[in-house]
Structure 1
Amino acid sequence: MDAKPELFRSVPTEVRPYLTELVRRTRAVCGPQLTAVIAVGSLALGDYRHGRSDIDLTVVVEGPPPPAVLRELGDALDHRRLPCPAAGLELVVYAADFALVPSGEAGYLLDLNTGAQLPGRAAFDTAGAPSFWYVIDRSVAHQDGITLYGPPASEVIAAPRPADLYTAIRDSVREHGDGEGHLADNRVLNGCRSVVYCRTGRWLAKRDAAVQVAAAEEDFRPLIEAAVRSFERPRAAALSLPAPQVRAFLAWVRARVDAAAASA
């Protein structure tokens, strides 16, 4: 199945040439084993910010392909060979039979991070890897993934089971609560997105979720509004947010997630 030019028009103009070339290289490496290339994350949710956001992609393949093919794909998409115009590329490859079945596992064949603002990483083994990032991304993909090549995302990526998804959300909140390696604004906005998902059963863009939570929770409104202002700046110019307030907010988020999980 060919790439879909009409769907490329639903992503920002700054990244269209890059995505076109990325799909071309992925097809060249994977050949007939390639099932789909799907945009997830901020691209899928309509909140991509150039210079701040990553490009998040999910690739689905038949097979699985030999390890040499996965290594070749990682090399072909490395920032040094295909410069990423965004903050970075986070690309995950799944086997088609794994992606079609609800799972709480990481389950990837390749997890590639590359870009000017991302530490380079190409992982081929899920041993010891936290699973929550991947479970949440597959949930977003099933809901709103933008197919750049192949069938609709919901036909190739199953929605996680509610118990697995709530476990993943809880683990995500715990990770952001610890704070290490995460910008403060992103910690707050991911917390907003988690709360809104627990209330509505749908993933929203971070800023849209922030508007909802700020409107309903007056005590946290100044912190959330400051996080939104910071998120609208480049990563290097992100604002400093009061650490005690961030921790208190994320503790509140975790309590909301625990309550939703208990009633699911």
Structure 2
Amino acid sequence: MSGTAGLPREVRAYAEELVRRTRAVCGPRLVSVFAVGSLALGDYRHGRSDIDVTVVVDRSLPGRALSELAGVLAHPGLACPAAGLELVVYPADAVGRPSGRAGYLMDLNTGPSLPERVSYDAEEASAFWYVLDRSVARQAGLPLFGAPVRDVIAAPGRGDVLTALRASVREHAEGDGHVGDNRVLNGCRSVVWCRTGRWVAKRRAGEVVAASEARFRPLIRSASRSFELPRESAPALPVGDVREFLAWVAGRVDEAAGPCQGASGTG
């Protein structure tokens, strides 16, 4: 069943308009629209979380339609009620098979707290973001329009997900622009996936890892409290503690990889 009824009330009207505009631009070449990320995992925090959306289209969609879509969805023309909109458009033939590539036709970031960005070249992007998003989508994507997720998106292979997790942990350890609590809770979610093969909400992942890893419990609990606040109000976490924790997370990902370590996955 497609629709916005399963979304938090703060974003329903926005999601309905987003789908309406996407259908108007893409017409019969639109296959599906899914809510992914925190919306799919039941951990959306209004004022903190982004709205993550996956759009799947027939590859025959003209390039000019992609640029038109970016224009009609850009904030503030379509005012985003969340921290931002992260919307990725994929061709159906690419996401219908397992892949470790970025593989998108368009990647749009827009909104009050996100730097405006649109890309039409998947080769310029780090693939891990997209592999992880598709893995979450396959497990939990909420259909807003069109065919159900399991008919549209193939699950990335385990080797590809582990490769993506390594890159994600490295980015959260070394990259700029990440809030400290998000670095820690994303690390927790990576550990839970390595243990279970399932994606869970960040705060739930924090609870699981804090329960089993006493030495990191104070840091994780601080991250969970910080995650309740808007991004602009989030307190800084101790840099050395975050770095140590993420080094530990990287070790857990490498352990999970086992014989897959160094494999290229399904490509």
Preserved contact between residue 184 and residue 223 of structure 2 (Cα < 8 Å): yes
Q: Does 1:16 align with 2:12?
A: yes
Whole-angstrom CA distance in 2 between matches of 1:97 and 1:43: 25
TM-score, normalised by the number of residues in structure 1:
0.97
Q: Does 1:171 align with 2:167?
A: yes
> Which blocks of at least 5 consecutive residues in structure 2 are unaligned?
261-267
Task: Indicate which of 84, 109, 119 corresponds to 2:105.
Answer: 109
Whole-angstrom CA distance in 1 between matches of 2:22 and 2:120: 17
Tell me by how many angstroms 1:4 deviates: 2.8
Whole-angstrom CA distance in 1 between matches of 2:117 and 2:123: 15
Preserved contact between residue 94 and residue 110 of structure 1 (Cα < 8 Å): yes
CA RMSD between the two structures: 1.0
Partner deviation per Cα, 1:165-187 (whole Å, 9 max, x = no partner): 10001100000011411001000
Task: Indicate which of 50, 55, 66 corresponds to 1:54.
Answer: 50
Tell me by how many angstroms 1:64 deviates: 3.4
Equivalent residue letter for 1:45: L
Partner deviation per Cα, 1:105-126 (whole Å, 9 max, x = no partner): 0000000000000000110011
Tell me by how many angstroms 1:154 deviates: 1.6
Q: Could you tell me which residue of structure 1 aligns to residue 2 of structure 2?
A: 4
Partner deviation per Cα, 1:15-34 (whole Å, 9 max, x = no partner): 00000000000000000000
Partner deviation per Cα, 1:15-59 (whole Å, 9 max, x = no partner): 000000000000000000000000000000000000000000000
Preserved contact between residue 111 and residue 122 of structure 1 (Cα < 8 Å): yes
Q: Could you tell me which residue of structure 2 aligns to residue 66 of structure 1?
A: 62
Q: Does 1:195 align with 2:196?
A: no
Partner deviation per Cα, 1:148-197 (whole Å, 9 max, x = no partner): 00111121011001111100011000000114110010000000000000
Whole-angstrom CA distance in 1 between matches of 2:114 and 2:173: 21
Preserved contact between residue 214 and residue 224 of structure 1 (Cα < 8 Å): yes
Q: Could you tell me which residue of structure 2 aligns to residue 233 of structure 1?
A: 229
Q: Could you tell me which residue of structure 1 aligns to residue 263 of structure 2?
A: none
Please give the secondary structure, in 2, of the residue aligned with 1:50: coil
TM-score, normalised by the number of residues in structure 2:
0.96
Equivalent residue letter for 1:199: R
Task: Indicate which of 175, 197, 220 corresponds to 1:224.
Answer: 220
Preserved contact between residue 210 and residue 216 of structure 2 (Cα < 8 Å): yes
Whole-angstrom CA distance in 1 between matches of 2:61 and 2:104: 12
Please give the secondary structure, in 1, of the residue aligned with 2:124: coil
Whole-angstrom CA distance in 1 between matches of 2:56 and 2:147: 10
Preserved contact between residue 84 and residue 110 of structure 2 (Cα < 8 Å): yes
Task: Indicate which of 110, 129, 148 corresponds to 2:125.
Answer: 129
Please give the secondary structure, in 1, of the residue aligned with 2:104: coil
Question: Percent same amino acid at aligned positions?
Answer: 62
Q: Could you tell me which residue of structure 2 aligns to residue 253 of structure 1?
A: 249
Q: Does 1:75 align with 2:82?
A: no
Preserved contact between residue 102 and residue 123 of structure 2 (Cα < 8 Å): no
Whole-angstrom CA distance in 2 between matches of 1:29 and 1:92: 15
Partner deviation per Cα, 1:191-232 (whole Å, 9 max, x = no partner): 000000000000000000000000000000000000000000
Equivalent residue letter for 2:16: T
Tell me by how many angstroms 1:263 deviates: 4.8
Post-superposition, which runs of at least 4 consecutive aligned residues in structure 1 deviate over 6 A?
none
Please give the secondary structure, in 2, of the residue aligned with 1:127: helix
Aligned length: 260
Partner deviation per Cα, 1:51-80 (whole Å, 9 max, x = no partner): 000000000001231110000000010012
Whole-angstrom CA distance in 2 between matches of 1:64 and 1:180: 37
Whole-angstrom CA distance in 2 between matches of 1:255 and 1:195: 10
Moved more, 83-92 or 178-187: 178-187
Whole-angstrom CA distance in 2 between matches of 1:22 and 1:140: 21
Whole-angstrom CA distance in 2 between matches of 1:64 and 1:51: 37
